[in-house]
Amino acid sequence: MKAIKNLRERRAISPVIATVILVAVAITVAVGVSYWMSGIAGQYTSFEKIEIQTGYAGKEELTPFVPAVYTAGVDGILGTADDVLVTAAVPATYGPGWDIILVLKNSGTTSSTLINCFINEKLVGQTGSPLELVTCTGLGGGMIGEGYVGITIESGQSETITIAGISTGFTSAGTTLNVKLHSAAGMDYIRLIQLP
């Protein structure tokens, strides 16, 4: 009997305190949800966008142009008529194939890694393909192809990519090639290049 009497004498939490506790819990949950949603929004608002600003093809350069070298003549001033020729200029030599130069800019909000390069839907550098000996290198370092990490371009940065060694056995002068760069995020960037 005494136990029942003790239960009747107990009082519940005051309605004011209960309201304060509920409001505090609601605010805590709301703050947690807002942080969670901002994290999700951040994932979906970052995007990759590579612009191919320039693309052109040229004859494959086997040896680069070497300029003439002079020394100063009797007057000791370089660039006057009495200068002495030390080494004559050597013209560049070109092979039977072509090189393609692409200038890219990452205008997206996240870095982009290019992992594959295709020419006319054939993978560059793939063993056993007609483009097995073709290389795809970035001016800032990195290569695209089997066994390579790829070329990473940070947001806002530019990169020059050279696709070298396209042979006459694969294509011929005047042909338009479909050059496609594939990124790790699954995006494709395509440029049509006409061979000279």
Q: What is the pLDDT of residues 91-134, one digit of tens each?
A: 655 567 888 999 999 999 899 999 999 999 988 888 777 777 78
pLDDT of residue 29: 95
- Asked if 113 contacts 156 with a C-beta cutoff of 8 angstroms, the reply is no
Report the percentage of the chain scoring pLDDT > 70.
Answer: 74
Distances (CA, A) of 105 to 33, 52, 187: 36, 7, 14
Q: What is the bridge-based pairing of β-strands 158-166 and 135-138?
A: antiparallel
Query: Is the pLDDT confidence value at 54 over 70?
Result: yes
Written as six digits, the tokens of 153 are 């371009």
- Asked if 60 contacts 96 with a C-beta cutoff of 8 angstroms, the reply is yes
pTM above 0.85, yes or no: no
Measure CA 118 to chain center. 15
Distance from C-alpha of 56 to C-alpha of 169, rounded to nearest angstrom: 20
Nearest by Cα to 159 from 103, 100, 99, 101: 103
